[in-house]
Structure 1
């Protein structure tokens, strides 16, 4: 939880840049009722080949939760026993952020970011595992990096396959969401690969981050978190979506507004006790798409908790259920 303490302290400065006030919208379904270990931040959930589910998250050395049925979750420690040495190039404590988990080529792939609050001196790394369980990961090093002269921030990775090729969306502020092609062999950025621009906001600080790209039918859907995270009940995080027929865009919302021009349909916002919904990922199990995210519980002092909602599709647009 070291990362959470850092971001809560820094959130006041971030919120000052965003002239918004936390508000609980209505009209959204509540998340699935769960029990056990509910505290989480930036969850990435996967159905394991061995049965049950794993959720990895910001906090610890990539915090791990396990469940047999999505409803009861147990604390399973961390992905790693110790931070790999190279993480300390990007922050003094070796803290990783915002993981993404997928299964490909007979093994599990865990992508994650290392950085410091307020800088784009950042890196995305990857680890692999035969089982996807905590304690079984082997770090494979850096996938992609950004520096202070770049106009993007190499954090918040998410992997998607399209037409036989492997892609990674990423980004946080610094003009928004980007995408780069990866090698299907190494899982790392192809040398000299173009960095595609997928979404941004029209004004600084370009508050959009944490992308996921999902295929449904003939479209790719870009889902991302907008506005301010990590301030408990004062968080204004919300989830928006756009779509494209091409993996690298252009992505537009249902009104045709490009996400590069500030577009994006609202998919999920705070409501009732469930405030600051974001840090999301999308996973599929038993033929059903699910949205995983964190929210800040207004009835529990703003504690960040796991939210799970089914995703339905209406006229080729996602809706939470």
Structure 2
């Protein structure tokens, strides 16, 4: 079945899932977002104390620096507070010649330090690297604050069948830590990390999580655990084309972190499977295109899905979007 037709059929299922939950939902969080909302591409989010911290993709020469850093006291009003790095590390051009940005960050707390993973690459090529910055705190008034360059975590070369970008950290209940990553080529992968270093354990194998048929348009894994299931979110089709972007977000689940992940119809994510969670056609205003590259924030008793979409009313600028994430009775996520 052609990709577009399959997507539309799955969209109908997603809309049907959303209706009973959305009927009682509060006023749209997206409609209340204010402040510095763009450009935001590939956002990640974490909360320290009473402050939400959001990081996103950047390019060399973009103000205020590489990996812009936004904060909010309430998830509604966002302030651009600075950047993680003033410039690329000295080793970056040797690791990935021609790289001009720090892409797709992911933030997590491991062993008392904040770990911010990010990617170095050039568009359409898989000579790439996932790198790491760490800090003891995100409070810049604390004497313990300060980003530390931890270097390359994982790299891919032109001869590899994978692409080392779009990192996502998964901390399992047993204390083990994993890195999900991948974009195009043979799809999304998983590798175990050493929590002490934040880097792959020696000899740790790569496990395949999800893949699509040609043109292999899958990327941006994000895994969460909930009630005995692991849920793998991924972005399908094409980003980075402004209002013409065809990006959308799907999910599958597995009892095991390493998979196999399947969608609501039992179709494997290693074989084009995925239940639609976000899609431009689900936006009643038809304003925001290409919703994808998600992060999921568990905040108290609620879950939120954080992502970018391209604002068709503002020239396709990538813009921060946040929606509550509800759950059906049979355990599938629905963006409200």
* TM-score greater than 0.5 by the shorter chain: yes
| One of 177, 197, 201 as aligned partner of 1:190 | 201
Quote how far apart the aligned CAs of 1:19 are.
8.4
Residues 1:297 and 2:333 aligned together: no
| One of 107, 130, 133 as aligned partner of 2:113 | 107
Quote how far apart the aligned CAs of 1:127 are.
1.1
| One of 67, 71, 86 as aligned partner of 2:72 | 67
Q: Which residue of 2 aligns with 1:44?
A: 44
Residues 1:170 and 2:181 aligned together: yes
Task: Give 3-state SS (helix, strand or coil) of 1:63's partner.
Answer: strand
The answer to whether the 8 A contact 2:210-2:269 is kept is yes
The answer to whether the 8 A contact 2:224-2:232 is kept is yes
Residues 1:240 and 2:245 aligned together: no
Task: Give 3-state SS (helix, strand or coil) of 1:85's partner.
Answer: coil
Structure 2: any 5+ residue segments left out of the alignment?
23-27, 59-64
Distance 2:240 2:90 in 1: 27
Larger Rg: 2
Greater RCO (Cα-Cα under 8 Å, separation 6 or more): 1
The answer to whether the 8 A contact 1:240-1:264 is kept is yes
Residues 12-51 of structure 1: pairs in structure 2 closer than 5 A: 27=15, 32=30, 33-39=32-38, 40-49=40-49, 51=50
- Structure 1's 104 and 287: CA in aligned 2 closer, same or farther, altered over 3 A? farther
Q: Which residue of 1 aligns with 2:127?
A: 121
Quote how far apart the aligned CAs of 1:288 are.
1.4
Aligned residue pairs total 301
Deviations 1:112-142 (A, max 9, x none): 0001111111110111111125783111011
Quote how far apart the aligned CAs of 1:94 are.
4.3
Residues 1:226 and 2:236 aligned together: yes
Return the TM-score normalized by structure 2.
0.85
Quote how far apart the aligned CAs of 1:53 are.
0.7
Deviations 1:57-109 (A, max 9, x none): 00141111111111000111211122111222314354110000011211211
Return the TM-score normalized by structure 1.
0.89
Residues 1:84 and 2:86 aligned together: no
Q: Which residue of 2 aligns with 1:55?
A: 54
Deviations 1:276-297 (A, max 9, x none): 0001111111221111100011
- Structure 1's 220 and 147: CA in aligned 2 closer, same or farther, altered over 3 A? same
Quote how far apart the aligned CAs of 1:31 are.
5.2
Distance 1:189 1:212 in 2: 18
Distance 1:263 1:48 in 2: 35
Q: Which residue of 1 aligns with 2:333?
A: 318
Task: Give 3-state SS (helix, strand or coil) of 2:327's partner.
Answer: strand
- Bigger shift: residues 105-114 or 93-102: 93-102
Distance 2:120 2:297 in 1: 23
Q: Which residue of 2 aligns with 1:95?
A: 101
Distance 1:36 1:200 in 2: 37
Structure 1: any 5+ residue segments left out of the alignment?
1-17
Q: CA RMSD in A?
A: 2.1
- Structure 1's 183 and 266: CA in aligned 2 closer, same or farther, altered over 3 A? same
